[in-house]
Structure 1
Amino acid sequence: MNSKPLNILILCTANSARSILSEAIANHLGGERVRAYSAGSKPGGAPNPAALRLIARKGLSAAGFSSKSWDVFALDDAPRMDLVITVCDNAAGESCPVWPGAPVKAHWGIPDPAGKGETPDEVDAAFEAAWDLLEARFSALMAVPFEKLEPAELQQRLTAIGAMDGGTALSRNLNETGGVA
């Protein structure tokens, strides 16, 4: 790795909730060290309104987020990714495009907050829980001196982060066995 920002692509099937939250968190915590993007295998058309409300409640700008296909990041003129993280189990199991530059890959499966809760307070609580899990993982990543690590060392650190409490069963299984999505 070098001193340029680490380009991170965060994937989820619909690119409407967990990946959008992750993009906001990673860019906020990463400062100039990171440039995060999000995309999905089957984009939902728009970010989940609850995700955008939560981003705004956290004091971050909710402008500019969109639900887009991961195919845009496989194009020749797309930013070259250093790291690709899946945050939903469905996306982890899908055949991803070939990413230019052979980025390091990780799976940090987080339970889906979308569709949880019947009242606005319950919906907000589900999104807050997902935020907390994602924020813990990206905080752990920001504590890693990734600029100085070789890809194999970075992969080991990402695997440990993916095994943190609160992840999905698939995430725990992949990360305990050293597998990646």
Structure 2
Amino acid sequence: MSNKVYNVLFLCTANSARSVMSEGWLNVLGGGRFRAFSAGSHPSGKVNPHAIALLDGIGYDIGALRSKSWDEFELADAPRMDIVITVCDNAKGEACPVWPGHPLTAHWGYEDPHGETEAEKRASFQKIFLQIRQRITLLVALSDAQLAGPALKDAVRDIGETRVD
């Protein structure tokens, strides 16, 4: 078994919900093999309260959650990413920075959580949260061989194409 820890950056435009929930799930389920981060191209400045409540419910430390710019991950002292995953269609279409180390990039699209009433919003967030968990579960189940070299690119992209309910 490899001792390598894979750094994964999840990107969404506002960095307020989907990318933050992805970060939380991977840090909880990653078993020490993964270290997840999130950021946005145009951060909203706050994490959505529904995302915070869901992450708190799985035992994720919500104390350090914040909406931040992807610029932080371009800095010389930033963690070097192995994988960068966009989770919203807007971020997928944006011109991303050239990341140090040229990490693997992929897109795992999720709809924008929405709803007119609080109950509808909670239900939408719950649905997306569970979809994210499905893909994160597939990622953390990859073998060391699948995480090494060229196999990783195909594995991560295949996960993004996996249908989630």
TM-score w.r.t. length of structure 1? 0.86
The aligned residue for residue 159 of structure 2 is 161
Q: What does the per-residue CA deviation read over 1:20-77, in whole Å, with 9 as the maximum and x for residues that have no partner?
A: 0001000000021111000000000011111101112233332211111001101111
Q: What does the per-residue CA deviation read over 1:141-161, in whole Å, with 9 as the maximum and x for residues that have no partner?
A: 001024664332101111110
Please give the residue correspondences for 1:98-137 in structure 2 after superposition, counting only pairs within 5 Å: 98-113=98-113, 116-137=114-135
| Larger CA deviation: 48-57 vs 9-18 | 48-57
Please give the residue correspondences for 1:49-60 in structure 2 after superposition, counting only pairs within 5 Å: 49-60=49-60
User: C-alpha distance in 2, partners of 1:85/1:118?
Assistant: 29
User: C-alpha distance in 2, partners of 1:147/1:94?
Assistant: 31
Whether 2:23 is the aligned partner of 1:8: answer: no
Please give the residue correspondences for 1:1-181 in structure 2 after superposition, counting only pairs within 5 Å: 3-113=3-113, 116-146=114-144, 149-166=147-164
User: C-alpha distance in 1, partners of 2:33/2:133?
Assistant: 16
Which AA in structure 2 matches 1:103?
P
Q: Identical aligned pairs, as a percentage?
A: 49
TM-score w.r.t. length of structure 2? 0.93
User: C-alpha distance in 2, partners of 1:149/1:109?
Assistant: 21
Q: Is the 8 A contact 1:104 1:151 kept in 2?
A: no
User: C-alpha distance in 1, partners of 2:110/2:151?
Assistant: 23
Q: Which runs of 5+ in 1 are unaligned?
A: 168-181
Which AA in structure 2 matches 1:40?
G
Q: Is the 8 A contact 2:74 2:100 kept in 1?
A: yes
Task: Decide whether aligned partners of structure 1 residues 55 and 140 sit closer, same or farther in structure 2, where only a CA change above 3 A counts.
Answer: same
User: C-alpha distance in 1, partners of 2:133/2:72?
Assistant: 26
Q: Is the 8 A contact 2:21 2:55 kept in 1?
A: yes
Alignment RMSD: 1.5
Q: Is the 8 A contact 2:146 2:152 kept in 1?
A: no
Shift of 1:5: 1.0
Shift of 1:7: 0.3
